[in-house]
Amino acid sequence: MAPPPLLLLKDIRLTFGGHPLLDGAEIAVSAGERLGLVGRNGSGKSTLLKIAAGLVEADDGSRFVQPGATIRYLPQEPDLSGFATTRAYVEAGLAPGDDGHRAVYLLESLGLTGDEDPKTLSGGEGRRAALARTLAPEPDILLLDEPTNHLDLPAIEWLEAELRSSRSALVLISHDRRFLENLTRATLWLDRGRTRKLDRGFGAFEAWRDETLAQEELDRHKLDRQIEREKDWLRYGVTARRKRNMGRMRALDDLRAKRKSQRGPQGSVRLTVSEGETSGALVIEAKTVSKAFDGRTIVSDFSTRIARGDRIGLVGANGAGKTTLLNLLTGALAPDSGVVRVGSNVEIATLDQKRASLDPSTTLRDALTHGRGDTVEVGGQTKHVVSYMKDFLFGPEQAGSPLSALSGGERGRLLLARALAQPSNLLVLDEPTNDLDLETLDLLQEMIADYPGTVILVSHDRDFLDRTVNAVIASEGQGRWQDYAGGYADMAAQRGRGVDARPSAKGEAKPKSAGAGQPAAAAPKRKLSFKDQHALDTLPARIETLEGEIAKLAAKLADPQLYAKDPKAFARTSDDLAKAEAEKAASEERWLELEMLREELAG
C-alpha cells in the first residue's frame, strides 16, 4: 500500500468576480515528488499554489498536510521589509535545529554577501534572497512560483543543480521549458479550473496536451452531430408529431445542457507582425567598438556583421552589459571608440525589457493606438482596437482600464502587441519571454521564425534561444564578446560550458603593482571555500544515507513477484536505484577530491 501523500488538495473550488477560477482542482504531493504545475496565464496556478501553502482559503474543498511535514513557499514578489540585512531575512525563515551555515552558503552561491540592505536591492537581488530563505530549511515540500524570474543564466543553472540534488518534494510553476524538462518527473495541468495529471515530466507534456485537446474537439463535434440528429427528429419525426415523445425531448435537453457546460480551451494569442520595407543586405556592422562606464569596460574592441534575416541572441550574466551592447548595435548609444554602421532602410521595432514605455495611467486602448482613434494598422490592414486586443487575450471591457491594473503577463502581451504593430524590418527584443505563458511563447517563436526581417534578442531562456536564433554573441568577461554559430546549446558545446557568472566588483579590481624597491605582496594563502568545507563535512553522512536507501531499493527489487504485480512500481524502483547509485558514486568522488585538496592545503 502506497504511503499517504505529504500534501493533498481535493476538490478545490474558488470563484473570483462571479467566474469560477478553480472548479474541482486537486494536488497530491508525495515524498520526493517532482511536479510541474502548468497552465495558461490567468488559469489560477499561483492561486492554487497559495492554497497549497495555506496562504489562501478556498471556497470549497479540503487541504490535508501530513503531521510534521514542513512546507516552504516562494512567492513571485517576495516582501523583505522589516529586516536589516538579507542574512537576517534568510535566517528568519529557519526553524529551530536548522543549519544556519546553509543560509550563508546559499546567499554566497546566489551572489549575495548577507550584509545587503533589503531596501536597496534590485528585483533580481530580492528574488535571490527569497530563494535562499526558501531553500535554507531543506523542507519536505518546496512550492516555487516562477523561481527563475529575474535570474540570469548562471543563477538559473546553479538553481537547477541545487534543486536536482535536493531531497525536498517539489511543486514548480515556470515558463522556462528547459528548467521544467530537467527537473520534473510528473506534470499537473490546470485547465479551465480543473487539474489533470501526467505521470511523466514536462518533456512529454505538450504532445499529451495536444492529443487531449484534439480528443475533446472530436467529442464536441460528435455531441454537436448528435444534437442535430435529435433536432431533426423533433422537426420531422412522425412519432414526434403524433405523440410528442417527452422522454426523447428530455434527452435532447440533456444533450444541450451538456454541450453548454463544456468549456472549450482558452483562447489563443494571434501574433501578426507589421512588416516594413525590405532593408539592405547589411543591417549592422560594428568595428572595434568599445564602451566603458565609471572606469569599468563593458564592451572592448568588439566587431561583428549582422546581415538581413539573421537571428542573433545576446547572452551573459546580469550586469555583463547585454543591454548596453544592444543599444550600441542599434545606434541608441554612442561608442567611446570604434564605429557602428546601421544599414540602409532599417526600421526598428523594440520590446522594452523594463516596461518603461508603459505609463500606468494610460488606458489599454490609448496604449495600443497611441491615443489616436480606435484603430490599429497591423500587417498593412486596419483593425479595430478591440479586435486587436482580442488577438492578445484582452477582453473588450479592458479597453478603458488603466495599465496599472494589468498583471505582469498582461503587460508583457501588451508590449508585444505594440512592438508587432509597428512597421519594422529589425525586431529588437530585450527579455521578450518575461511573464509570458508557454502557449504565447510558442506563438512568439513561430512569429520570429516567419518574420522576414532581422531579429536581435536578449534572453536567459535557453530553450527559447535554441528555438529562435542562428547565432549567439556571448559575454566572455572583462568587456570581451564573442560570436558563436547556432543556439545556446551550440554555444555551450563550443565553449565547453554555459554562461559564466559575472565577477563581483571586488573580484574585478586589479592588484596594484609594487612600487620601485618594494617587494611584491605575498600571494594570499589558499584555503577551502565555505561551500567546499560544508560539502566535506556533510558528504559522509549523505553517503551513509544513500547506502541505506540503495540497500532498501535493492531488497525491494529482489522480490520476484514485484514485476508481475506492478510493472510500473518495478520500473520506478529501478530508476530510483540507478539514481541513488549514481549520486553515491558522485558524492564519493567529490568527497575524495575535497579530502585530497584539504590535505594538500594543510601540507
The string of DSSP letters for 456-474 reads EEE-S-HHHHHHH-SEEEE
Checking if the pLDDT of 58 tops 90, the result is yes
Highest mean pLDDT among 82-86, 389-393, 407-411: 82-86
Task: Kindly tell me if the per-residue pLDDT of 86 is higher than 90.
Answer: yes
Q: Does residue 467 fall inside a structural domain?
A: yes
Q: Is 318 annotated as a binding residue?
A: yes
- Whole-number pLDDT of residue 302: 94
State the CATH number of the domain containing residue 587.
1.10.287.380
Can you tell me the distance from the alpha carbon of 445 to that of 471, in angstroms, rounded to the nearest whole number? 15
36 is in an annotated binding site: no
Run of H or E including 444: helix 438-450
Q: Same domain for 465 and 558?
A: no
Q: Using 50, 70 and 90 to split pLDDT, how confident is the model at 408?
A: low
Q: Please identify, among 183, 207, 231, the residue that sits at the C-terminal boundary of a domain.
A: 207
Q: How confident is the model at residue 211 (pLDDT cuts 50, 70, 90)?
A: confident
Say yes or no: 408 and 491 in one domain. yes
Q: How far apart are CA 255 and CA 264, in angstroms?
A: 16
Whether residue 171 has pLDDT greater than 60:
yes
| Closest among 284, 307, 313 to 469, alpha carbons compared | 313
In this predicted structure, the answer to whether residue 42 has a pLDDT above a threshold of 80 is: no
Report how far residue 54's alpha carbon sits from residue 93's, in angstroms, rounded to the nearest whole number: 16
For residue 301, count other CB atoms closer than 10 A to its CB: 14
On whether residue 248 sits in a domain, the answer given is: yes
Among 9-18, 39-48, 135-144, the range with the most confident prediction by mean pLDDT is: 135-144
> Is there a single domain that holds both residue 556 and residue 449?
no
β-strand 34-38 against 19-29: which pairing, if any? Answer: unpaired
345 and 492 assigned to the same domain: yes
Percent of the chain exceeding pLDDT 70 equals 83
The predicted structure's pLDDT at residue 518 = 40
Distance of CA 320 to the CA centre of its chain: 21
Q: What gap in Å lies between CA 281 and CA 305, rounded to an integer?
A: 11
Question: Would you tell me how many other CB atoms lie within 10 Å of the CB of residue 363?
Answer: 17
Has residue 523 been placed in a domain?
no
**Residues 498 and 578 occupy one common structural domain:** no
pLDDT score at 521? 38
Q: Is 40 annotated as a binding residue?
A: yes
247: Cβ contacts below 8 Å, ≥ 6 apart: none
Rounded to an integer, the average pLDDT of 416-422 is 78
Strand ranges for 223-295 from DSSP E: 282-293
Residues 6+ apart with CB under 8 A from 482: 473, 474, 476
Say yes or no: 200 and 235 in one domain: no
The helix or strand, by DSSP H or E, that contains position 105, with its residue range, turns out to be helix 100-109
pLDDT for res 274: 53
Does residue 127 lie within any of the structural domains?
yes
The annotation status of 100 as a binding-site residue, yes or no, is no
Q: Is position 43 annotated in a ligand binding site?
A: yes
Q: Same domain for 113 and 89?
A: yes
Confidence of residue 240 (pLDDT cuts 50, 70, 90): very low
Q: Is 380 annotated as a binding residue?
A: no
Is 45 annotated to bind a ligand? Reply is yes
Amino acid at 394: F
Rounded CA-CA distance 14/20 in Å is: 6
The predicted structure's pLDDT at residue 356? 55
**Would the pLDDT of 328 be above 50?**
yes
Regarding predicted confidence, which is higher, 573 or 85?
Answer: 85
Q: Is 320 annotated as a binding residue?
A: yes
pLDDT of 20: 84
Residue 283 has pLDDT above 50, yes or no: yes
pLDDT of amino acid 178: 92
370: CATH = 3.40.50.300
Q: Determine whether the annotation assigns residue 383 to a binding site.
A: no
For the cut 70, the answer to whether the pLDDT of residue 382 exceeds it is yes
Q: Is 168 found in the same domain as 82?
A: yes
Q: Which domain holds residue 76?
A: 7-207
Asked if residue 129 belongs to a known ligand binding site, the reply is no
Residue 483: strand pairing partners: 473
Residue 509 located in a structural domain: no
**Residue 275 forms part of a structural domain:** no
At residue 514, does pLDDT exceed 70? Answer: no
Residue 431 gets which letter from DSSP? S
In a domain, 577, yes or no: yes
Q: How far apart, in whole angstroms, are the C-alpha atoms of residue 292 and residue 479? A: 9
The number of beta carbons lying within 10 Å of the beta carbon of residue 201 is: 18
Q: What angle do CA 578, 580, 585 make, to 5 degrees?
A: 95
Give the total number of structural domains in the chain: 4
Distance CA 61, CA 82 (A): 35
On whether both 412 and 542 belong to a single domain, the answer is: no
295 is in an annotated binding site: no
Burial 467-488 (b: 16+ CB within 10 A, else e): bbbebbbbbeeebebeebebbb
In a domain, 520, yes or no: no
Whether the predicted pLDDT of 259 surpasses 60: no
Do residue 352 and residue 288 come from a single domain? Answer: yes
Q: Was 47 annotated as part of a binding site?
A: no
| 42 annotated among ligand-binding-site residues | yes
8 Å CB contact between 359 and 403: yes
Closest residue by Cα to residue 483 from 282, 303, 284, 339: 303
Pairing of strands 454-458, 426-430: parallel
340 — phi, psi (to 5°)? -120, 125
416 three-state secondary structure: helix
- For residue 353, the Cα-to-chain-centroid distance in whole angstroms is 16
Strands (E), 107-168: 141-145
Cell representation of residue 69: 511535514
Q: Is 44 annotated as a binding residue?
A: yes
pLDDT at residue 189 is higher than 90: yes
Highest mean pLDDT pick, 343-352, 455-464, 555-564: 455-464
Give residues with Cβ within 8 angstroms of 242, minimum separation 6.
none
Question: What tens digit of pLDDT does each residue of 428-448 get?
Answer: 988 888 777 787 788 788 878
pLDDT digits (tens, 9 = 90+) for 105-125: 999 988 899 999 999 887 778
Verify that 309 and 367 share a domain, yes or no: yes
291 and 345 share one domain:
yes
Position of cell 549567439? Answer: 472
77 within 8 A of 150, measured Cβ to Cβ: no
Reported pTM: 0.68
pLDDT at res. 576? 86
Mean pLDDT of all residues belonging to the chain: 82
